[in-house]
Structure 1
Amino acid sequence: MWSTFFIAMALAAVFLYMPGFLALKALRVRSAVALCCAPVFSIVGYAVVTAVLPSLGVFATWQTVFLPCLAAGIVAAAIVRFVPWFSSWNPTRLGVADMGRSFRKAMNEEWFSIALYVLAGLAVVGLVFVKNLDGPDSFLQAWDNSHHLSSIRAFVESGNFSMLTTTSYATALDRSFTPWQGESMFYPSAWHCLGALVVSASGATVSMAANAVNAVVVGIVLPLSTFVLMERLFEGRRGIVRCGAFVSLAFATFPWGFLTFGPLYPNLLSYAILPVVAVLFMGIFDDGVGARVRIVRAALFVVGIVSLACAQPNAVFSAAVLLAPFCVVRAARFARFLPWHAAHPRACRIGLAAVAVAGIAAIWWALFNAPFLQDVIWFDWPAKEGEAQAIANIALLSFSYAPAQLLLSALVLIGTACSLVDGRYRWFACSFLLACAICYVDLAHDGFIKHLLAGFWYTDQLRTGSTAALLAAPMAALGLRHAVHFVARGLDRAVESVGGKPTPYVSAVLVLALSVTAVFFPSYVIPGHHKVETAFGDIRNRVEDQNSVSKMNYLDASEKEFVRQVEQIVPDDQPIINSPDDGSIFLYGYEGVRTYYRYLTGYSPESNESEDSAAIRQGLYRIAEDERVRQAVESIGAEYVLVLDQGKDQDLGSDMERRRFVLKDDIDNELWSGIRAIDDATPGFETVLSEGDMRLYRIVV
C-alpha cells in the first residue's frame, strides 16, 4: 500500500505542476519561476475544464480533465516557441529576481535553492506527517473530513468534478434518494478535484489520495511558493533566501494546524499558493517595466485570485493583509509624479499614503457589508484568551494552538526588528504585525470589531493565527541568517583565540544545523525532572493519535470490519438508513457505502430537507404502525438500517465522545431519535448481523 501512496504523491505533483508550467512557458517565463508558480495556473485550468465537461456530457476522469489542460499548455508553448510573430516577446519574469551577476550563475543558484526547498520540505513532511500515519489510508475522524472524503468520492463516482455543483449525492442513484432535492451548490473544491484526479489515475483509496495530496502541498507546494516570496523580498541576498528553506515549515500553527484541526485541507492549499499570488501582484508595479508586461502580470494576478477562490476564498483576505502595506508604500512612491512634489515631497508622500489607507479601508468595509459574505463574517468563535495571554501566545508563536516555539519566536523577533529598521523590508514587517493584530483581536475579544477584522476567516483563531504564521516565515529566515552569521563569527573568533584556523563555512553550517534541529526537535524527558513538550513533538503526537486505526474512535477497527460484512449483504444500489453521528458519516467517503445520511447538521424545513427524510429521522422505529413512515422508506428504496453504537450515550462508557458525535453546539441528539430507538425487539425489523452494540436490521413490513 505504501508503494501506491508514493505513486499517488508523484501523480499529485504532476497534476499540480505540469499544466501550469507549460502555460507559463508559453508566456516565456523562466523555467525555474514557471515551476514554482505552476500550481496557481493548474488549479484554474482544472476549474474551467471541470465546469465545462458536465455541459458537454463528458464523464470526468484524470484523462478527460488533466490531458486537455496538458494539451492546451503544450500547444500554447509550441506556438510561442515556433511562430515568428511571438519571437520578440520578452519574459515576464513575474517580478521575481534574476538572482545574480550572470544569467548562468543565477540559473545555477536558483535551481540549487529550489532543490534545497523541496528536499527540506519533503524531509520535514516525511518525518512529521507521513511517518506518523497509521497506514497510508488512515484519516482524521473529525467534522470537516466527512465532507472532504465524501466530496472526493462523489466526484469520482459521478464523473462531475465541477465545484459549481458540489454535493455528496452526486450520482443519479444518490440523487434518487437524497434528503435534499436540488441541494448541490458552489463550494471551493480545488483540493477535492486534485484528490479525485489522484484516485482516478492511481486507483488509491480516497483517504490515501487525500494524504498524498496533503503531503505534496506541504512538502513541495508551500516550500516553493515561499521560495518565490523570499526571492522577491530578499533579492540578491542568497543567504537569507536559503535560510528560508529551513523555516517555511517550521511553524506548528501553519501548515500543521490545518492538518490536525478541522481538518482544513482546502485552506491548506489556498495558503500554500498565497505567496505566489502576492508576488504576481507586486510584480505589476516594478520600475522599468513596459506596459505590455504590466498588463500580462495584471492578468496573471487575476488568475491567481481566481485560484485562491477555487481553493478557499478566505485566502484572498490573507493576501490583502500581506499586500496592504505594500500598496501604501507604492502609493507614496507615486508622489514623485505630482506637480507640487518638488516643493512638498514629504506632504505629498504622506497624502498619497493616506489616500491608499482610506481606499483599502473602504474596500474592506464594502466587503464587510457584502450580502454574500454575511454568513461567514458573523460566524462566531468565542474569544479563547485574556488580553495578556493572547499577546504572549502570539509572541511565542503558540497562537493558542500549539506549545510555544521559543527559539523560533526569538528568530522572528530578530527578523522583525531588522526589517523595521531596513526600509527595503519595513512594509513586510508591517504586514506581519497587522496579521498579528487581527489574530490578537480574534483571540482576546468578542463583538463588532472582532467580526470587522477577523470575520472573513469565520473568526476562527487558527485561520487568523495561520495567516500570521505564514507571514512570519520571511521574518524567521532573516532572523536565522543574522543569528547564524553572528554565532558563527563568534565561534571563528574563539578558534582564532586559541591559535586555530577559522572555518567560516563549517561554523555557519554547524550553527544552522543546530538551530534547525532545535526548532524541529520532538518532545523529550529530562530524567528525574519533567517532560518537555515541544511544538513538533505535539504535532507528531497529534498526527499519530488522530490517525490511529486501533484506538477507540467514531469509526473504529471493529466497526470497519462489521461494515465490510454489511457490504456483502446489502445490494450496491440500495441506500442504508443510518444515524451519521455514530461514525457512519465517514462510510460513504471512506468505504463507498451508500448511506442515506451523509451530513451531521442541516436537517430542518428551512434547509429544504424532504418530508420523507424528516419522517425517517424522527419516526423510523414506528414503521410497523405508521403508514407515513412506511411510505417514506419505500420512496427512497431502503430495506436495511445500520446501527454502529446502539444504546444511550451514557451506556457507551468513558469513550463515548470518541464513539459518537454527542450533543455539542448545534448537533442535536434528537435529530436521530427515530433511528436510535430501534432495538432487536422493535416491530418491523429483523436482525441480520449482530456484534456487540453494532446491528444491521432488515425492514420487514
Structure 2
Amino acid sequence: MSAWCAAWPALVAACGVLVLPGLVVALAAGLRGIPALGLAPALSVTTVSVTAVVAGRLGVPFGMGVVALGAVVLSAAMVGVLALARSLGLRCPEARTVGHLPDLAGLGGAAVGGVCAAVAVARGIGRPDVFPQTFDAMFHLNAVWTALRGGDASSLTLGTVAAPERAAGFYPAAWHGVTVLVAQLSGAGVIVSASAVSVAIAGVVWPLGCVFLVRQTVGVRPGVLLAGGVLAAAFGATPHLLLSYGTLWPNALATVLLPAVLACAVTVLRVPEGGIGHGGPIEAPASWRTDELRAADLSLGRFRAGLVAVAVVPGMALAHPNAVLSAVLLVTVVALVSGWQWVARPRTSTARRVAVGVAALLLVSTELWVVAQSPVFAATRRTSWPARQGLAQAAGEWALSAPVRTPVPWLAAALVLVGCVTAWKRPSWRWLVLAHAAAGAAFVVVAGSDGPVSRTLSGPWYDDPFRLAALLGVTAVPLATVGLAHLADGVGDRAAASRWPERLVAAAAIGFVVVTGGVYTGSNTRVVATWYAGQGMVGSGEESLLRRLPELVPAGSTVAGNPWNGSVLSAPLGDRAALFPHLQGSWGPDRALVAADLSAAGSDPDVCPAVRRLRLGYVLSGPVSFWKGDWRQAAYRGLDVSRAPGFVPVASGGRLTLYRITAC
C-alpha cells in the first residue's frame, strides 16, 4: 500500500472535488449535518458536469476556477428559489437540527464503512498506476487525456474521442470531468487520477449517501445511523463491482448517487410517516419513539428536498443516463405505495381515488415507453448479452445479496432478509421491500433470460446484468439496517428484564457488524481485482515502452498503431496522442486509409498526404493478444509495418516495436 501513500495528493483532490463544490451548494440551500454531506457529492457532480458543458459552449478552458464559479451560481440559484418560495407563501421552513449525536454517529459509521470500502478498492486495484485492461477503460482513459489536454470536458463533445472528424458528439462526461480536475489539482497522471476517483467513490460518496438514505428511511437513532454507514461496505455488488467490471466508471459514479436521490424522494412523498422512529399509528419499540427521533426530515423538508433532487438529476444524467431510469424505477415504487396509502384512507373521495389511479397508470405507461420505445435509448437497445444462468439461479443470487457471482456476505444477507420481513409488517416501509424486489426482478429477468421481455425492458442498461446487479446495495443497505435494529431491539427488550442495559446490547451488535465489515473487505477486494488482474492488452514490456514515448516521440506528434495491440494506450501511458484512441470508432477517410494501407506508404500515392494531414510521425507495430480474432481488428491490417520499407525501428518492448515513418 506504500504506492497509495505516494498518491495522497490525488486521493485528497478526488475527495475534495466530489464533496466541496456540492457542500457549498447544500449549505446555501439550508441543509445541515448528514443531509448536507449526503447530498454534497451528487450536487458536486451536477456542478462539475454542467459547468463543463457551459464552459465548452463559451470556449472557456475547463478547470477548478470555472467549477468554483459554477458552485457560486448554483448556490445563488438555490437561495433565490427558496426566497421566492417563501414570498409566495409556500411552506419552506428554516432547517432544524435533531441534535449532534445522530450526526456524529452517522458520520462515524460512514467513516468506518468508507475505510473498509476504500481499502477494498485500493487493494483490488493494487497500485494507483495500474489500470483495468478492459474494452471500455481504453475509451475512458483516452477521453480523460483528451479533455485534460484540450481543456474541454463537455458531455456535448466528449463523444468525438471515438469520432475525431465530428464537431460534436454526446457522451456523459461527469466522471471524466471529475477525473480531469483531480489530475489538474494533484499533478497526477490520468491513470492515478482515475484510481483515486474510484477510491473516493467507494470510500466517501457511497457511505455518505447510504447514511443519508438510512436517516430519511429508518430514522435518526444514533445506533441505526452508525450501522447504516458500516453496512454500506458489506455488499460487493455496490459499489465495488462497476469500479472494475467493464470498466464502467461513469456508471459506477451515477449509481452511487442513487441513495441521495431516493432519500429526497422519500422525504417529498412522506412515506416514512408512521414508521419506526417517526411516531404514528404503527407500533414500534419505545426506544425508537422519542421526540428527538420522530421526524428525520426536520432538517430537510419537502420543498427543499424536491428542490435539491431537481438539482441533482442533471449531474446524474451526465454521469450516466441509465441511472436516471434506475432512480425512476425506485422512486415509482415509492410513489405508488404512497399513493395507495393515501387512497386507502376512509375519507378519500372516489374522484380522488380515480385521479390517483389514472395518474399511476400514466406514470407507469410513460416509463415503459421511455424504456422500450424512446429514441433516447435506441442505440443501447441494440446491445445484447446472452444470459449466463437461469432465472432460478439469478433469483437465488439476489436473495443472497450476491448477484453475478459476487461473494455472499452471509451476515449482511441475513440482515437484509430479516429487514424485509420487518419492513413488510409496517405499511409505511413496504415500499422499501417492493423497491428491493423491483430492482431484483429487473436483474433476474436480464441475467436469466434472453426472451422478448428481457430484450424490451433492458435497453437503458445495455441488456447487461452487471449494471442492474449494482443496484442491489441501494435498497439492501437500509434493509440490512432495519434487520439489525429489529434484532438489537428484540435482544434489548428481553435483556431489560434482567436489568441488562439495552444500549449495551445494541452497541455489541453494532460492534459485531463493524468487525464483519472489515472481514468483507477481503471478499470485496477480490471483486475489484477480477478485472484489474488481466494483462490482455499490454504486459510489462509493452507498458514500459509506452511510458518511454515522451523521450522517443517529439511533442505534438501523433502515434499510429492497431489499437487492439496496446497502442491505444499511447496517450494515457505515454502522453502522446493515439491516432485511434479507442478500439473501434467512426474514423474519417484519412484515418481509414492509414488503418488499411499505411504499410504501403512507399507505393500508394494516397497514403503520404493522409499521413501529413494527420501529423503522423511514428507507428507502433506488433501482434494482438487482446480478444484475439475479433472481427473489428481486420480494419487495422495496414498498420503491421514490420516488413514494410520506409519504417525505421526506434525501440521495442514486449510485443511492440516503435517505428519512425520515413516513407513520407
Identity across the alignment (%): 24
2:188 matches 1:190: no
Q: Secondary structure at the match of 1:181?
A: coil
Residue 22 of structure 1: how far off its partner (Å): 2.5
CA distance in 2: counterparts of 1:164 and 1:568, whole angstroms: 34
Q: Is 1:698–2:660 an aligned residue pair?
A: yes
Tell me the equivalent position of 1:540: 525
Q: Which amino acid aligns with 2:70?
A: C
CA drift of 1:416 comes to 0.5
1:349 to partner: Cα distance: 8.4
- Shift of the alpha carbon at 1:627? 1.7
Q: Tell me if structure 2 keeps the 8 A contact 1:457–1:463.
A: yes
Report how far residue 237 of structure 1 moved: 4.3
Which is higher, the Rg of structure 1 or of structure 2? 1
Q: Does 1:671 align with 2:655?
A: no
Query: Is 1:587 equivalent to 2:570 in the alignment?
Result: yes
Q: Give the stretch that moved more between structures: 465-474 or 187-196.
A: 465-474
Change (3 A) 1:455 1:694: closer
Contact 2:13/2:182 (CA < 8 Å) preserved in 1? yes
Equivalent position SS for 2:649 = strand
2:149 counterpart of 1:157? yes
Long gaps (5+) in structure 2: 274-294
Establish whether residue 366 from structure 1 lines up as the match of residue 365 from structure 2: no
Hey, what does 1:531 align to over in structure 2? none
Report the secondary structure of 1:424's partner residue: helix
The one-letter amino acid paired with 1:593 is R
Q: Which residue of 2 aligns with 1:394?
A: 398
Map of 2:279 onto structure 1: none
CA distances 1:74-131 after superposition (whole Å, capped 9, x unpaired): 7679999999x99x9986579xxx6xxxx5xx22123213321331133213431224
The 1:540–1:330 alpha-carbon spacing in structure 2 relative to 1, beyond 3 Å, is: closer
Q: Give 1:685 deviation, angstroms.
A: 1.9
The 2-side partners of 1:259 and 1:384 are apart by 21
Deviation at 1:258, TM superposition (A): 0.8
Question: Do structure 1's residue 211 and structure 2's residue 195 form an aligned pair?
Answer: yes
- Asked if structure 2 preserves the Cα contact closer than 8 Å seen for 1:4 and 1:202, the reply is no
Instruction: From the superposition, tell whether residues 425 and 78 of structure 1 become closer, same or farther in structure 2 (CA, over 3 Å).
Output: closer
Task: Indicate conservation of the 8 Å contact 2:113/2:517, yes or no.
Answer: no
Q: Which residue of 2 aligns with 1:122?
A: 114
Work out whether residues 138 and 583 of structure 2, in 8 Å CA contact, stay in contact via their aligned partners in 1: no
Distance (whole Å) between structure 1 residues aligned to residue 644 and residue 215 of structure 2: 68
Cα distance in 2, alignment partners of residues 420 and 336 from structure 1: 17
Matches of 1:321 and 1:163, distance apart in 2: 24
Amino acid paired to 1:697: Y
> Which residue is equivalent to 1:689?
651
Per-residue displacement from partner, 1:141-194 (whole Å, max 9, x unpaired)? 21111122212211211111211111465xxxxxxxx97411631211111111
- d(CA) in 2 for partners of 1:252, 1:195: 23
- Secondary structure at the aligned position of 2:422 is classed as helix
Q: Partner of 1:259: helix, strand, or coil?
A: coil
- Distance 1:181-1:227 versus aligned 2 partners, 3 A rule: same
Matched with 1:181 is 165
Secondary structure at the aligned position of 2:619 is classed as: strand
Q: Do the aligned partners of 1:579 and 1:675 also contact (CA within 8 Å) in 2?
A: yes
The one-letter amino acid paired with 1:363 is T
Q: Is 1:264 aligned to residue 264 of structure 2?
A: no
Letter in 2 for 1:115: L
State TM-score, norm by structure 1: 0.82
Q: For residue 138 of structure 1, give the secondary structure of its aligned residue in structure 2.
A: coil
Q: 1:78 to 1:599 in 2, by over 3 A?
A: closer
Partner of 1:313: 321
Partner residue of 1:141 out of 130, 133, 136 = 133
Residue correspondence of structure 1 range 457-536 to structure 2 within 5 A: 457-486=461-490, 502=500, 504-518=502-516, 520-521=518-519
Distance (whole Å) between structure 2 residues aligned to residue 50 and residue 228 of structure 1: 27
Aligned residues of 1:179 and 1:597 also touching (Cα < 8 A): no
**Any conservation in 1 of the 2:269–2:335 contact (CA below 8 Å)?**
no
Q: Any residues of structure 2 matched to 1:235-274 within 5 Å, and which?
A: 235-274=219-258
Per the alignment, do residues 93 and 124 of structure 1 end up closer, same or farther by CA in structure 2, a change over 3 Å counting?
farther
Give yes or no for contact 1:20–1:39 (8 Å, CA) kept in 2: yes
Alignment check: 8 A CA contact 1:30 1:91 kept = no
Distance 1:564 1:9, change over 3 A: closer
Contact residue 451 and residue 459 of structure 1 kept, 8 A: yes
Cα gap change, 1:62/1:16 in structure 2, threshold over 3 Å: closer, same or farther? Answer: same
Q: For the structure 1 residues 427 and 142, does the alpha-carbon distance in structure 2 shift closer, same or farther, using more than 3 Å as the test?
A: same
SS of residue in 2 equivalent to 1:576: strand
Structure-2 residue corresponding to 1:428: 432
Name the SS of the counterpart of 1:696 in structure 2: strand
Aligned to 2:557, the other structure's residue is in SS state: coil
Question: Equivalent residue of 2:659, what SS?
Answer: strand
Report the residue type matching 1:22 in the other structure: V
The correspondence of residues 15-26 of structure 1 with structure 2, limited to 5 A, is 15-26=17-28
Q: SS of the residue aligned with 1:577?
A: strand
SS of match in other structure, 1:255 = helix
Cα drift, residue 365 of structure 1: 2.6
**Contact conserved, 2:160 with 2:169, CA < 8 A, in 1?**
no
Aligned length: 634
Instruction: Using the TM superposition, give the Cα deviation of residue 282 of structure 1 relative to its aligned residue in structure 2, in angstroms.
Output: 3.4
CA offset digits 1:603-635 (Å, max 9, x no partner): xxxx4x322222211222222222222332233
Distance 1:453 1:564 in 2: 44
Give the one of 65, 80, 101 matched to 1:109. Answer: 101
Aligned residue in 1 for 2:51: 49
Query: C-alpha distance in 2, partners of 1:14/1:687?
Result: 45
Q: Is 1:330 equivalent to 2:333 in the alignment?
A: no
CA offset at residue 353 of structure 1? 5.8
Please name the residue that 1:38 is paired with: 40
Answering whether residue 463 of structure 2 is matched by residue 455 of structure 1, we say no
- State the Cα distance separating 1:293 from its structure 2 match: 7.2
- Superposed displacement of residue 517, structure 1: 3.4
1:409 corresponds to 2:394: no
Instruction: Read off the aligned partner of 2:362 and give its amino acid letter.
Output: G
Aligned equivalents of 1:261, 1:560: Cα separation in 2? 21
Contact between 1:22 and 1:73, CA under 8 Å: does it hold in 2?
no
Distance in 2 (alpha carbons) for counterparts of 1:591 and 1:545? 25
Deviations 1:207-263 (A, max 9, x none): 111122221221111111111211111135444333211211211111110112012
Q: Which amino acid aligns with 1:633?
A: V
Q: Structure 1 residue aligned with 2:588, among 610, 614, 624?
A: 610
CA contact (8 A) 2:415 2:479 kept: yes
User: Contact 1:380 / 1:459 at 8 angstroms: preserved in 2?
Assistant: yes
Q: How far off is 1:375 after superposition?
A: 1.4
Q: Quick check: 1:150–1:590 contact (8 Å CA) kept in 2?
A: no
SS where residue 58 of structure 1 aligns?
coil
After TM superposition, give the deviation of residue 435 of structure 1 in Å.
Answer: 1.0
- The question of whether the paired residues in 2 share the 8 Å contact of 1:492 and 1:502 is answered with yes
**Could you tell me how far apart the structure 2 residues matched to 1:282 and 1:691 are?**
56
**Post-superposition offset of 1:197:** 0.8
Q: Take 1:93 and 1:315, find their aligned partners in 2: how far apart are those partners? A: 31
CA spacing shift, 1:93–1:374, aligned 2, 3 Å:
farther
Contact persistence 2:595–2:637 (CA under 8 A): yes
Secondary structure of 2:243 counterpart:
helix
Using CA pairs below 8 Å that are at least 6 residues apart, which structure has the higher relative contact order? 2
Distance 1:15 1:349, change over 3 A: same
1:68 equivalent to 2:51? Answer no
Q: Secondary structure at the match of 1:397?
A: coil
Name the CA shift for 1:410/1:80 in 2 (closer, same or farther; >3 Å): closer
Residue 642 of structure 1: CA displacement?
A: 0.9
Is the CA contact (8 Å cut-off) linking 1:488 and 1:511 kept in structure 2? no
**Contact (CA 8 Å) 1:439, 1:454: kept in 2 or not?**
no
Question: Aligned partners of 1:519, 1:370: CA distance in 2, in Å?
Answer: 42
Q: Of the candidates 610, 616, 625, which is equivalent to residue 603 of structure 2? A: 625
Q: 1:545 to 1:23 in 2, by over 3 A?
A: closer
CA distance in 2, matches of 1:54, 1:282: 35
Structure 1 runs not aligned, ≥5 long: 170-177, 523-535, 650-658
Larger deviation, residues 264-273 vs 619-628: 619-628
What secondary structure sits across from 1:163 in the alignment?
coil
Q: Aligned partner of 2:199: which letter?
A: A
Report the RMSD for the aligned CA atoms in angstroms.
3.4
Corresponding residue number in structure 2 for 1:233: 217
Equivalent position amino acid for 2:447 in 1: L
